[in-house]
């Protein structure tokens, strides 16, 4: 678009005879066209470069502090953090209750090394021969405000509800600022919050 505008301006100047052409070019229209687009390209490049430099100089980043992931996770009722995410251990008995719509269930495992071998037992101790076939659904029901929550299982019998977290979202939440962003510090590999301020 900028190139087109610049080309139009140069063409108007040429057609209006405000810019005299040398005698050796006066009869060569293709040379005029080449010069028009070279001039237009130079003008547009200058405009874009100037705009970029101005944009770079109109803001500065103010360090706000660390990323309070623990506080963020607690506010959504998760019990802890793992990496850049929130997580909570799953009460497998409660997962059985939710899956089979009753109360007082417990889960026992037919294979001590397989976290997916759990079987739900009723409060009276009856073996239902059924487990929980969809732990992610249980986690989504428990944490409905987190659309990316899922379940993870690992031996021996450890299952958690977990959701990844955008560190910039934590910064915005903690400092109540839409201008807050998260950046990883190259020196200590820690996430920190910054606020972009216009000069």
Spans of all domains in the chain: 2-48, 64-84+165-199, 96-144+153-159
| DSSP letter (8 states) at residue 116 | T
| DSSP letter (8 states) at residue 42 | H
pLDDT at 65 over 60: yes
pLDDT at residue number 54? 47
Are 7 and 32 within 8 A, CB to CB?
A: no
Nearest to 172 by CA among 87, 82, 68: 68
Confidence at 187, pLDDT banded by 50, 70, 90 = confident
pLDDT at 86 over 90: yes
pTM exceeds 0.85, yes or no: no
pLDDT at 33 over 60: no
**139-148 average pLDDT score:** 91
pLDDT at residue number 43? 65
Rounded to 5 degrees, φ, ψ at 11 are -65, -40
């Amino acid at each position: 678009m900028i190139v087109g505008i610049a080309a139009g301006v140069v063409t108007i100047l040429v057609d209006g005879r405000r810019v005299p052409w040398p005698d050796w070019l006066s009869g060569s229209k293709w040379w005029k066209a080449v010069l028009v687009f070279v001039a237009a390209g130079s003008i547009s490049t200058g405009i874009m470069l100037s705009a970029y430099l101005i944009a770079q100089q109109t803001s500065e980043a103010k360090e706000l502090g660390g990323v309070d992931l623990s506080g963020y996770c607690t506010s959504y009722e998760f019990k802890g953090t793992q990496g850049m995410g929130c997580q909570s251990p799953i009460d497998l008995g409660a997962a059985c209750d939710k899956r089979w719509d009753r109360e007082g269930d417990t889960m026992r495992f037919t294979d001590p090394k397989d976290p997916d071998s759990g079987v739900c037992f009723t409060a009276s101790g009856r073996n239902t021969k059924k487990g929980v076939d969809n732990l992610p659904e249980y986690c989504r029901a428990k944490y409905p405000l987190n659309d990316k929550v899922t379940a993870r299982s690992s031996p021996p019998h450890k299952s958690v509800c977990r959701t990844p977290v955008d560190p910039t979202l934590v910064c915005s939440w903690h400092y109540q600022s839409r201008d807050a962003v998260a950046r990883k510090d190259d020196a200590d590999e820690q996430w920190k919050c910054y606020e972009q301020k216009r000069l």
